[in-house]
Amino acid sequence: MTSDADRRPGFELSDAQWREKLTPEEYAVLRQAGTERPFVGEYTDTKTTGEYHCRACDALLFTSTEKFESHCGWPSFFDPAESDAVILRPDDSLGMRRVEVLCANCHSHLGHVFEGEGYPTPTDQRYCINSISLRLVPAP
């Protein structure tokens, strides 16, 4: 995981191009750091084997191997597919301290990562990711 949020994205579009490429709902989450409602995302409960790519730029972010059931209302992963797939940055919005997760390739908002919640995962982390930020590519 890269913590260098100042790093330039490898995939860049103008705001107008992002608005054309994404639906209004995708744009609100991916480009404006919104959050979809809990328990409504298409990948919250899926158990399909495959890869989860960024819906904005198609970069590989997570795999089904790292996905686990946290019952929090959003898809949860204990680690990204590759260590440099995401960027982590402090998020002090909403009057609380959190860590935002961004796609390292296009800097789109994915969700947040939490630690120390006691889940029985190898990393003790929960990447709480908006389904609308992802596109599942099922394994062949």
Q: State the catalytic residues.
A: 128
How far apart, in whole angstroms, are the C-alpha atoms of residue 17 and residue 8? Answer: 18
Hunting for tokens 């198609």 — which residue is that? 58
Q: Which DSSP symbol is given to 59?
A: -
Give per-residue burial for 8-33: e unless 16+ CB within 10 Å, then b. ebeeebeeeebeeebeeebbbbbbeb
The amino acid at 93: S
